[in-house]
Amino acid sequence: MQNIEVAWIFNELADLIELKEDDFFKTRAYRQAARTLAHLEQPLEELSRRGQLSKIPGIGRAIESKIKEILETGTLKKHQELLQEIPPGVLEIKQLPSIGPKRARALMQELGVTNLQDLEDAVKDRSS
């Protein structure tokens, strides 16, 4: 698995946690880990084999164990659990310009928007 793929999982995990209004500190730690992992020059699999994941700046025991889980299984259990809790369309909405996790959560909670079609319908309803 490529470093960027592992970083992507951590970034999406941070988004999912933020969408749930969960722990701010975990969100920040996962985003920082994603940035760090995306810019590593050495492959994570190599660092893991040599027992050097903990030497990566900003990577503590909890994130190290999650990296190992991803490298061993190709997925992260916590990430998969949160994907089941958040409608997949909300992540698509979050990708739109000017819409981050907080705004996507607000659209979901206040207007019941859970996908792009819901968003389009809500815009049409407001402009009528």
Residues of the chain with CATH 1.10.150.110: 1-86
Token representation of residue 14? 């941070």
Return phi, psi of residue 52, to 5°: -110, 10
Q: What is the DSSP letter of 98?
A: T
Q: What whole-number percentage of the chain has pLDDT above 70?
A: 99
Query: What one-letter code names the amino acid at 69?
Result: E
Return phi, psi of residue 64, to 5°: -60, -45
pLDDT (tens digit per residue) in 50-71: 999 999 998 999 999 999 999 9
Token representation of residue 79? 């990430």
Arithmetic mean of pLDDT, 25-32: 95
Quickly state the pLDDT bin for 21 (edges 50, 70, 90): confident
CB contact at 8 A, 10 and 82 = no
Arithmetic mean of pLDDT, 5-20: 94
pLDDT (tens digit per residue) in 62-112: 999 999 999 999 999 999 999 999 988 898 998 899 998 888 988 988 889
CB contact at 8 A, 101 and 18 = yes
Q: How many residues does the chain have?
A: 128
Domain at 1-86: CATH architecture: Orthogonal Bundle (1.10)
Arithmetic mean of pLDDT, 8-36: 93
